[in-house]
């Protein structure tokens, strides 16, 4: 393997600690290339067994262009998206061999460009047939579900049904809808909570997990000769479904409350044809105040998600039934309450997946996740495990608005006035992941698998002006917080076919750091990049010892890194220093030792002395630093923040 790990650090073949920086490739890999699968297309769910993902993330002939650009920006680690549907859309056990050939060819190109790769088995809300991406359509057919009825029964929300008016992040509310939570509950807990449900002679849990693991094991077999392949994620953002829900009659457990959010009991009744009066939370901070709820009725008019001859799986388990008056009644609302999702369900699945991958690639890392912002399962032996959680500035993601002096804590909606408070909040939130890893995995490495911002901020004004400075500010806040903890990360995301009109081609999202629509000069490697002032930043790529601190102040053009050397390492510390943010060049200051600047390779090589001391390297832009605000300027800024907050509150109250 090109990278190993000891404790919390990745290491190269010389023992230098590696900090990995990269990108998810790509957002559009969630949907087929042929026929075009972009979610705004009403017919993109037709004929699900006859699709192809060849060309995702891009046609093979474009690989050199995109890989050269990413390497130039310092993003040399790829979280490479491969959905279960992409591998096995034609049916259980039917692997798309031509797609595997394509993937091998693309990742060979990545190796030629010096890019490291790990595979991300991506899913969102289970499958694109219930509002997200991931699982193939035949997983529903195995249960007797009718895909065409998901929308009319309220069992799933689909972008295809409202291509031009689908609210941001509304897709995520499918976790509270019937199809998604049923599939996840059965995938992780079928043996315990639906023991009689058999498919092809197996319990539904074994049937689904078996086909999932086998598909990715076959991918591992086909790619195992690639020297740049680090390993596999186990599953993107796995959901517990109903496992651990204390009361099926309440929606208090729902992580995201946007629009209409039925309780699990209501969602079950809706999927079986019974009208329900639900709660509509709207879009907090956009069309109403947080916590402001209105009633909303959903009436499937007797339609159900089941094909003829099939009945509801939860009714068969005695969780609910219909009374003598024909009304649905929940009989066991606490049926799933005692389930320990992390230890009793997610961990055994992760172990099963890891065993399948290690049978083909014994040295592969397994990048594990849990629910967003949550801890992973506990492992006594975390060998070859990497904790790969995700983080987003939730309010910026939800509202597609950003002000550098005013933000909110996404969960408490506590206001965060001023840059210092915002930065402190982001750093503290990200710091929890180190605590989680230490508690559950020991000193396992951490790689933040997803972090990013929406580029259509403030009504997409940057698409017209070409000025992405506000996006750069928003992203820099998060990236500086990552530097506080010396984390490796892969940005979400790079979508080669991103457009101003349709973003990343999936559920109205637009988080790609590149867009053809912003590419005015194809001969310029940076043309088409968005918020490069934040993305193309210095960092310590290879460290001859243990990193201590790292900070990049992009406004002042100053990068500072300190570390404690390891006497067993003879190779120099390597700092990636992009030329883009230093148009007038830079000077290098060191605490001791000597250095070499290689501007063509965009790096500084630093050889420390043998002194037993923290070593420091400082890179300072030759461009003049911006002037500091005067006390009066700072007062005016504070007043502006207060006015923005007041205007926001008044607008919400009027609505």
The residues annotated as belonging to the active site are: 237, 450
Q: DSSP class of residue 508?
A: T
Judge residue 6's burial from the number of C-beta atoms within 10 Å of its C-beta, 0-12 exposed, 13-18 middle, 19 or more buried. exposed
Judge residue 98's burial from the number of C-beta atoms within 10 Å of its C-beta, 0-12 exposed, 13-18 middle, 19 or more buried. exposed
Q: Calculate the CA 267 to chain-centre distance.
A: 26
3-state secondary structure of 439: helix
**Residue labelled with tokens 């909040």:** 425
With a CB cutoff of 8 Å and minimum separation 6, the contacts of 612 are none
With a CB cutoff of 8 Å and minimum separation 6, the contacts of 409 are 395, 416, 425
Tokens of 301: 């008019």
Whole-number Cα distances in Å, 391 to 4, 481, 603: 25, 11, 28
Sign of CA dihedral 571, 572, 577, 579: negative
Q: DSSP class of residue 630?
A: P
Quickly count: other Cβ atoms within 10 Å of residue 282's Cβ: 20
Tokens of 548: 């201590």
**Residue labelled with tokens 């629509």:** 517
d(CA 476, CA 478) in angstroms, rounded, equals: 5
Whole-number Cα distances in Å, 395 to 167, 256, 513, 523: 14, 12, 19, 37
> What is the pairing mode between strands 488-494 and 21-25?
parallel
């Amino acid at each position: 393997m090109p990278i190993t790990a000891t404790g919390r650090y990745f290491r190269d073949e010389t023992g230098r600690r590696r900090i990995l920086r990269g990108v998810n490739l790509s957002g559009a890999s969630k949907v087929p290339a042929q026929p075009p699968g972009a979610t705004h297309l009403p017919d993109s769910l037709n004929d699900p067994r006859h699709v192809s993902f060849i060309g995702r993330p891009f046609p093979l002939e474009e690989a050199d262009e995109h890989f050269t650009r990413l390497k130039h920006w310092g993003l040399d680690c790829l979280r490479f998206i491969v959905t279960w549907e992409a591998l096995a859309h034609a049916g259980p056990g039917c692997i798309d061999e031509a797609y595997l050939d394509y993937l091998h060819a693309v990742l060979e190109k990545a190796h030629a460009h010096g890019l490291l790769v790990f595979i991300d088995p991506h899913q969102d809300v289970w499958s694109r047939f219930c509002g997200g991406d991931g699982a193939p359509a035949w997983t529903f057919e195995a249960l007797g579900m009718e895909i065409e009825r998901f929308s009319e029964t309220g069992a799933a929300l689909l972008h295809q049904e409202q291509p031009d008016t689908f609210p941001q992040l509304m897709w995520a509310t499918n976790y509270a809808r019937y199809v998604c939570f049923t599939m996840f509950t059965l995938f992780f807990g079928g043996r315990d909570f639906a023991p009689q449900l058999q498919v092809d002679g197996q319990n539904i849990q074994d049937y689904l997990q078996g086909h999932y693991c086998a598909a990715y094991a076959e991918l591992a077999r086909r790619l195992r000769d690639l020297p740049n392949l680090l390993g596999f994620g186990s599953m993107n953002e796995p959901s517990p479904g109903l496992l651990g829900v204390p009361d099926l009659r309440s929606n208090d457990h729902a992580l995201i409350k946007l629009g209409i959010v039925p309780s699990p009991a209501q969602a079950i009744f809706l999927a079986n044809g019974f009208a329900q009066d639900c709660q509509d939370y709207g879009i907090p901070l956009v069309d109403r105040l947080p916590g402001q709820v209105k009633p909303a009725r959903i009436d499937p008019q007797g339609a159900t998600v089941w094909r003829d001859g099939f009945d509801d799986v939860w009714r068969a388990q005695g969780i609910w039934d219909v009374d003598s008056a024909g009304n649905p009644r929940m009989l066991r609302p606490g049926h799933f309450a005692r389930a320990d999702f992390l230890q009793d369900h997610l961990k055994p699945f992760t172990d099963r997946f890891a065993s399948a991958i290690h049978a083909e690639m014994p040295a592969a890392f397994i990048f594990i996740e849990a629910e967003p912002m949550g801890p992973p399962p506990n492992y006594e032996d975390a060998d070859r495990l990497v904790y790969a959680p995700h983080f987003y500035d939730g309010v910026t993601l939800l509202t597609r608005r950003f002000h550098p002096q005013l933000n909110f804590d996404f969960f408490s909606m506590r206001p965060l006035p001023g840059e210092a408070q915002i930065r402190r909040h982001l750093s503290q939130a990200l710091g929890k992941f180190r605590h989680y890893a230490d508690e559950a995995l020991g000193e396992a490495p951490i790689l933040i698998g997803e972090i990013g911002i929406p580029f259509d901020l403030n009504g997409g004004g940057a698409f017209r002006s070409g000025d992405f400075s506000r996006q750069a500010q928003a992203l820099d806040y998060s990236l500086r917080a990552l530097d506080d903890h010396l984390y490796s990360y892969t940005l979400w995301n790079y979508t080669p076919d991103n457009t101003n009109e349709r973003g990343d081609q999936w559920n109205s999202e637009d988080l790609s750091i590149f867009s053809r629509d912003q590419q005015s000069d194809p001969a310029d490697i940076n043309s088409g990049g968005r918020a490069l002032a934040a993305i193309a930043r210095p960092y310590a790529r290879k460290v001859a010892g243990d990193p201590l601190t790292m900070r990049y102040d992009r406004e002042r053009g100053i990068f500072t890194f300190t570390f404690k050397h390891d006497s067993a390492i003879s190779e120099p510390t390597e700092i990636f220093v992009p030329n883009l943010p230093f148009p007038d060049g830079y000077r290098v200051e060191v605490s001791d030792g000597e250095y070499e600047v290689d501007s063509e390779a965009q790096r500084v090589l630093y050889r420390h002395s043998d002194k037993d001391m923290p070593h420091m390297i400082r890179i300072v832009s030759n461009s003049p630093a911006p002037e500091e605000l005067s006390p009066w300027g700072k007062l005016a800024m504070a007043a502006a923040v207060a006015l923005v907050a007041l205007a926001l509150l008044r607008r919400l109250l009027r609505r």
